[in-house]
Amino acid sequence: MYAKSLTAAAIGAAAMLALAMPASAQVPEIRLARQFSMGYLQLNVMEHEKLIEKHAKALGIPKVKVSWFTFNGPAAVNEALISGNIDIASGGVPGLLVLWSRTKGTPQEVRGITALSSQPFLLNTRDAAVKTIKDFKPSDRIAVPAVKVSVQAITLQMAAAKAFGVKNFAKLDSQTVSMSPPDATVALMKGGSEVTAAFSVPPFQYQQLENHDIHTVLNSFDVMGGSHSFTVAWAFSSFRKKNPVLYKALIDALKEATDIVNKDKRAAAKLWIEDSKSKLPLDMVAKLVAAPQVRWTTVPENTMKYADFMSSVGTLKNKPTSWKDYFFPEIYDQKGS
C-alpha cells in the first residue's frame, strides 16, 4: 500500500544520504518525472527546447545533465523521489499533499515548485444506465491512474462524500482499479472487460468520447466548484537548498515553457505528439490544448480544497492553513489558492 511505503525510515534514510554528500561531489544533474497526460505540456517543451540547459548556462552552469522519466500515478512518482531516483516530481495535487504531510518539518520536507495547468478530467463510462455516480453497480470497475492516491481517486472520493455523505467518502474505492490512461482507454473503448468506466486525463478522456457508446458521468470542475489545478511539480527542500542556481534555472525554464505554450498552442501540441509518439491528429490535440476550460499557468488554483478534504477524512496528518505551507516561496507573489 502506498501510504505504508512512505515510512519514516525511508524518508530518514533519504535525508541522511542527501546531507552526507559533500558539495564537491555534486554533479550538475537534474532528473524530472512526469505522467501519462497532456497536463505536463511545459515539461515536454522544456525537454524539446532544452530550456533547463539554456537557463543553467545563463546562470553560470555551462553544462548540466537533464534526464526525463515517465511514470503511471503518484505512488510510482513519489517512490522514485523517496528512493533518490528523481529530483523533480510532478502529478496531481494530492500526490504533493501526501508527501508534504509526511515530510513536514524534516530536512527532506517536500514542497511544490509551481503549478503546471488548470483543466478538468472526466469520468467516462460505456454503461448507458449510469447517469451519476449513484448509478454504478457493485460489479462496475472504474479505472484510475492509481487507486486511493491519484488526483482522480481523491476527486471520486470527494464526489462520493457529496453523493452518499462524508462517512461514505470511500464507498466507491473498492470498485476502482489502477490502470494507465492509455490502457484504460483501450479497455473502455474496446468493451468486454471488467472496466466499465475510466476517470482519466486529457487527451485520452476525449479520445474515449469519440466512441458513441461512451459518455461523461462527472467533470472534476463540478466536484471542485470550478477551475482547479490539475498538475503541479514538487521536490525535496534539500534539493532546492543544495542547488540554488540549478533550482533557479528550473524556475526560469518553467516560466519560459509556460509562455511558449500560451503563445503558440498548436506548436506545443505538435511537440507533445512528437515526444509522446501519439497517433492522435494534430488538429484534435491543438484543440484540446486551447480548450476553453484549459489554462497553462504556474499559479496554484483551488489546491486547498483538496487539502481540506484530505485532512477531514484523515488522509493528511498535517493540515495546512494556506497553499503557501506546501509550496516554495518563489511563487508566493502569485495569487494562488
DSSP 165-216: -GGGTTTTGGGEEE--HHHHHHHHHH--SSEEEEE--TTHHHHHTTSTT-EE
Instruction: Note whether 277 and 183 are same-domain residues.
Output: no
Quick check: is 49 in a domain?
Answer: yes
Domain count of the fold of the chain: 2
Write down which residue in 195, 224, 253 finishes a domain. Answer: 224
Instruction: Note whether 189 and 140 are same-domain residues.
Output: yes
The residue to which cell 490544448 is assigned: 289
Instruction: Note whether 128 and 75 are same-domain residues.
Output: no
Using a pLDDT cut of 70, give the percent of the chain over it: 92
Q: For the segment 97-153, what is each residue's pLDDT rounded down to a tens digit? A: 999 999 999 989 999 999 999 999 999 999 999 999 999 999 999 999 989 989 999
Lowest mean pLDDT among 20-29, 45-54, 78-87: 20-29
Instruction: Note whether 220 and 235 are same-domain residues.
Output: no
CA dist 4 and 132 (Å) reads 32
Q: What is the CATH number of the domain that holds 126?
A: 3.40.190.10
Q: For the segment 184-227, what is each residue's pLDDT rounded down to a tens digit? A: 999 999 887 889 999 999 999 999 999 999 999 999 999 999 99
Instruction: Note whether 239 and 92 are same-domain residues.
Output: yes
Instruction: Note whether 10 and 111 are same-domain residues.
Output: yes
Instruction: Note whether 150 and 29 are same-domain residues.
Output: no
Quick check: is 337 in a domain?
Answer: no
Give the per-residue pLDDT at 226. 96
Q: Domain of 25?
A: 2-118+229-331
Question: How far is CA 293 from each of CA 52, 226, 289, 299, rounded to the nearest angstrom?
Answer: 28, 10, 10, 15
Give the per-residue pLDDT at 6. 43
Give the per-residue pLDDT at 18. 41
DSSP for 14-36? HHHHHHHS-GGG--SEEEEEEES
Write down which residue in 224, 249, 267 finishes a domain. Answer: 224
Write down which residue in 193, 224, 255 finishes a domain. Answer: 224
Q: For the segment 4-35, what is each residue's pLDDT rounded down to a tens digit? A: 444 444 444 444 444 444 333 355 899 999 98
For the cut 90, the answer to whether the pLDDT of residue 179 exceeds it is yes
Quick check: is 336 in a domain?
Answer: no
Mean pLDDT over the full length of the chain: 90
Q: Helix (H, G, I), strand (E, B), or coil: what is residue 314?
A: coil
Lowest mean pLDDT among 120-129, 163-172, 236-245, 273-282: 273-282
Instruction: Note whether 190 and 104 are same-domain residues.
Output: no
